[in-house]
Amino acid sequence: MSTHYHEWEKAPSKDAVRQLCADSFPSGAPESWRLAESTAGTLSVSAIEAKELIAALHTLSHHILFHNLTAPEQILVLFPKSFHPSLKNLITKIMLEHSPPWRNEALSNQISLPHLVEMDWRVDMKTASDSVSRMAVPTCLVHMKVEDSSCLRGSGALSSVTVELSKETLDTMLDGLGRIRDQLSVVAGK
């Protein structure tokens, strides 16, 4: 960070600093030439220097996030001693402000199995079939929308699955779900 001190001196405003911290957080930021060029324009430095600055900010914000640094003192010690004090305070303040939404974003983007997005059900009554011409058998249809695992998270691609359950199957499933609930309350109670 210390090598980029002179670039910071040229920052036109607090808002510019704030914007730069936010822009350098996403995972693609250090590689983005577009961001480097616009930053170079804002700070009146070369694109290469801007890129290095963005990378440094990116490393800093992710370090803070990973170790869950929540106190200003924890972040201030990361800066070199010769760093401009009010700039140091400003950056620390901005990082702390952004930590909660960044943390939520990291949590929702973490790898996982496809997420269940939506679920609905319907109970039908079967009244006839080729094997029995008159009957009254209830059956349950459950429709689930699941994130398509082959697509990028948040791209909105959903795959759909509809499942039919007989009464016995539904009872068995509820049995299983009930056991999960019981185990969850044991874990929560500890």
Partner 1 sequence: MLQLQFTKDTLPDSVINDFQNLNKFNEQQFTSLTEILFNFLLEPKEADRFLHQLSEFAGENGMSAGPLRNLMKSLLLLPHGSLKKNLTEDQVKEDLLTLGVSEDKADHFSQQWSLHYPVLSRLAVGQTLMVNQLVDMEWKFGVTVGTSELQKVGNTFLQLKLVIRKGNSTENVYMELTLPQFYNFLHEMERAKASMDCFS
Q: Residues interacting with partner 1, by CB under 8 A?
A: 62, 65-68, 103, 106-107, 109-116, 119-121, 123, 125-126, 129-140, 142, 144, 146, 161-167, 169-174, 176-178, 180-181, 183-184, 187
Nearest approach, Cβ of residue 105 and partner 1 (Å): 9
Between 13 and 185, CB nearer to partner 1: 185
Establish how many alpha carbons lie within 13 A of residue 6's alpha carbon, considering only the half-sphere containing its beta carbon.
Answer: 4
User: Which tokens hold the place of 131?
Assistant: 């094997």
Between 155 and 185, CB nearer to partner 1: 185
Nearest approach, Cβ of residue 128 and partner 1 (Å): 9
Residues ≥6 apart with Cβ < 8 Å to 65: 99, 102, 103, 106
CA distance 36 to 28: 12
Nearest approach, Cβ of residue 178 and partner 1 (Å): 8
- Rounded to 10 degrees, the C-alpha dihedral 76/81/85/87 comes to -70
Nearest approach, Cβ of residue 155 and partner 1 (Å): 17
Between 50 and 57, CB nearer to partner 1: 57
Would the CA dihedral through 181, 185, 188, 190 be positive or negative? negative
